[in-house]
Amino acid sequence: AQKVTQAQTEISVVEKEDVTLDCVYETRDTTYYLFWYKQPPSGELVFLIRRNSFDEQNEISGRYSWNFQKSTSSFNFTITASQVVDSAVYFCALSPLSAKIIQGAQKLVFGQGTRLTINP
Amino acid sequence: SAVISQKPSRDICQRGTSLTIQCQVDSQVTMMFWYRQQPGQSLTLIATANQGSEATYESGFVIDKFPISRPNLTFSTLTVSNMSPEDSSIYLCSVERLAGDNEQFFGPGTRLTVL
């Protein structure tokens, strides 16, 4: 079974603080992809990152960084020096390769999301 | 990234009626997906639509309730049939690029309220 857990339902911090959003996943596939999406109040889903299960290198993109640890099945997301515009719901998602092989289509399993509020 | 548009962006419908949501992509894509996001909840995959074949539905979703069309590589529709208030959700179209490199992008969503 595939499952993504985002234990933090809501996080509220003051602007300029660093904040880490946790994501823990479960899968029996040895090859899979992990994603993070941002959903601002307007409702659209914004793609942030995709990570292949064979690539455990951490990634940094501006104020965003991702820590992928296969040993703990975690793919955490850190925002450095947070800004009010970072306020949104953030979703972590998993896509097992087996779904793509069997059904020819990548299927995303989403976590419940973390609502992040950055206060001025 | 693919540019995806959905129509309508929002609608308020009466119980028992049906609504067809359109999804248009600016480039050819292999797979198109329809997700539902109930209020305050995460996204749940309804079905996968491959051009030229029947859509594949996830557990808990059936074709009679959510018929899908995929007439070409840039367009799909999802119909929410015989609606009830429980169908009030955001419905999102998603696409996987033709390159199959696992990039998946989402449309802006259709916010549906059923009275």
pLDDT tens track for B53-107: 889 999 999 999 999 999 998 999 999 999 999 999 999 999 876 555 567 789 9
Q: What is the mean pLDDT of residues A92-108?
A: 76
Does the CB of A44 have a partner CB in chain B at under 8 Å?
yes
Q: Which two tokens stand for residue B50?
A: 């491959």
Cα–Cα distance, A77 to A64 (Å, whole number):
7
Which chain B positions have a beta carbon within 8 Å of A25's beta carbon? none
Q: CA angle, corner B2, sides to B7 and A45, nearest 5?
A: 65
A7, pLDDT greater than 70: yes
Higher per-residue confidence, A39 vs B101: A39
Q: Is the dihedral of CA A34, B27, B10, A48 positive or negative?
A: positive
Do B48 and B31 form a contact (C-beta atoms < 8 A)? Answer: yes
C-beta atoms of B33 and A43 within 8 A = no
Split at pLDDT 50, 70, 90, the class of A44 is confident
Nearest to A110 among B43, B90, B103 (CB): B43
A87, pLDDT greater than 60: yes
A107, pLDDT greater than 90: no
A63, pLDDT greater than 70: yes
Query: What confidence score (pLDDT) does residue A93 get?
Result: 95
C-beta atoms of A33 and B102 within 8 A = yes
Taking only residues 17 to 36 of chain B, the set having a beta carbon closer than 8 angstroms to any beta carbon of chain A reads 30-31, 33
A108, pLDDT greater than 60: yes
pLDDT tens track for B31-51: 899 999 999 899 999 999 988
